[in-house]
Structure 1
Amino acid sequence: MSELIQVKQTVPTVDEMPNLVYYQTIEGDHAVELTLSMLVPRTVDLKPAVLYLPGGGFTAANHNKYIQMRTALAQAGYVVAAAEYRVVPDKFPKIVTDGKHALSYLYQHADTYHIDTNRIAVIGDSAGGYLAQFLGTTSQTAHFLPTDVTKAQTQVKAVVSMYGFCDLLTIGSGLNEPFHESTTSTEALLVNGPSFMSDTANSITADKPKAQAASPVSYVTAQVPPFLIMHGNADRIVSPAQASEMVTALKAHQADVQQVTIDQAGHGTWEWYQPEIINRVITWLNQKLGRAL
Structure 2
Amino acid sequence: MKRTRLLIAGVLLMAAANGAAMAQTGLPGYADGAQVMRVDVTRGQIDTIGGVIYSQVKATRSVRQLRMTVLVPRANDLKPAIVYFPGGGFISAEYEKFTEMRTALAQAGFVVAAAEYRVVPDQFPALVEDGKAAVRYLREHAAEYGIDPARIGVIGDSAGGYVAQMLGATNGEKTFDTGQFLDKSSDVQAAVTLYGISDLRSIGEGFPEAVQKVHQSPAVTEALLLNGPAFGEFPGATVTANPEQALAASPIGHVKGEKPPFLIMHGSADTLVSPRQSQKLYEALKAEGNKVDYVLVEGAGHGDLRWYQGPVIDRVVSWFKQTLGEPIKGAAKASGPDAKL
Matching residue of 2:81: 49
Kindly tell me: are residues 154 and 289 of structure 1, through their superposed partners in 2, closer, same or farther at Cα, counting changes over 3 Å?
same
Matching residue of 2:312: 277
In the aligned structure 2, how far is the partner of 1:222 from the partner of 1:6?
55
Q: Encode CA deviations 1:80-103: one digit per residue, 9 max, x unaligned.
A: 000000000000000100101111
In the aligned structure 1, how far is the partner of 2:66 from the partner of 2:221?
21
Q: How far off its partner does 1:147 sit?
A: 5.2
Structure 2 counterpart of 1:109, which letter? Answer: H
Matching residue of 1:15: 47
| Bigger Rg, structure 1 or 2 | 2
Q: What are the equivalent positions in structure 2 for 1:259-274 lying under 5 Å apart?
A: 259-274=294-309
In the aligned structure 2, how far is the partner of 1:180 from the partner of 1:85?
23
Q: How far off its partner does 1:119 sit?
A: 1.2
Preserved contact between residue 286 and residue 292 of structure 1 (Cα < 8 Å): no
Tell me, yes or no, if structure 1 residue 172 matches structure 2 residue 207: no
Tell me, yes or no, if structure 1 residue 183 matches structure 2 residue 218: yes
Preserved contact between residue 133 and residue 216 of structure 1 (Cα < 8 Å): yes
Question: What count of residue pairs does the alignment treat as equivalent?
Answer: 293
Structure 1 counterpart of 2:50, which letter? Answer: P
Determine which of 234, 237, 241 is the counterpart of 2:276: 241
Determine which of 103, 116, 122 is the counterpart of 2:135: 103
Q: Encode CA deviations 1:245-265: one digit per residue, 9 max, x unaligned.
A: 101110111000000000100
Determine which of 152, 157, 161 is the counterpart of 2:189: 157
Q: Percent identity?
A: 47
Secondary structure of the structure 2 residue equivalent to 1:154: coil
Q: Encode CA deviations 1:177-217: one digit per residue, 9 max, x unaligned.
A: 13111111100000001122231411111110111111011
Secondary structure of the structure 2 residue equivalent to 1:250: helix
Determine which of 89, 92, 106 is the counterpart of 1:60: 92
Q: What are the equivalent positions in structure 2 for 1:138-157 lying under 5 Å apart?
A: 138-146=170-178, 148-150=180-182, 152-157=184-189
Q: What are the equivalent positions in structure 2 for 1:18-37 lying under 5 Å apart?
A: 18-37=50-69
Q: Any unmatched runs of 5+ in structure 1? A: none
Q: Encode CA deviations 1:56-81: one digit per residue, 9 max, x unaligned.
A: 00000000000000011111111000
In the aligned structure 2, how far is the partner of 1:113 from the partner of 1:148?
18
Secondary structure of the structure 2 residue equivalent to 1:170: coil
In the aligned structure 2, how far is the partner of 1:150 from the partner of 1:33?
18
Secondary structure of the structure 2 residue equivalent to 1:49: strand
Matching residue of 1:207: 242
In the aligned structure 1, how far is the partner of 2:180 from the partner of 2:172?
14
Q: How far off its partner does 1:149 sit?
A: 4.3
Kindly tell me: are residues 200 and 225 of structure 1, through their superposed partners in 2, closer, same or farther at Cα, counting changes over 3 Å?
farther
Q: Structure 2 length normalisation: TM-score?
A: 0.83
Q: Which runs of 4+ in 1 moved over 6 A?
A: none
Backbone CA RMSD of aligned residues: 1.3
Q: Structure 1 length normalisation: TM-score?
A: 0.97
Structure 1 counterpart of 2:234, which letter? Answer: D
In the aligned structure 2, how far is the partner of 1:283 from the partner of 1:18?
26
Q: How far off its partner does 1:151 sit?
A: 7.1
Q: How far off its partner does 1:6 sit?
A: 2.0
In the aligned structure 1, how far is the partner of 2:301 from the partner of 2:183?
36
Kindly tell me: are residues 40 and 172 of structure 1, through their superposed partners in 2, closer, same or farther at Cα, counting changes over 3 Å?
same
Determine which of 100, 117, 122 is the counterpart of 2:149: 117
Determine which of 93, 97, 113 is the counterpart of 1:81: 113
Q: How far off its partner does 1:292 sit?
A: 4.1
Structure 1 counterpart of 2:53, which letter? Answer: V
Q: Encode CA deviations 1:122-153: one digit per residue, 9 max, x unaligned.
A: 00000000000000011232131215443742
Preserved contact between residue 77 and residue 327 of structure 2 (Cα < 8 Å): no
In the aligned structure 1, how far is the partner of 2:58 from the partner of 2:200?
29
In the aligned structure 1, how far is the partner of 2:37 from the partner of 2:78?
31
Secondary structure of the structure 1 residue equivalent to 2:229: coil
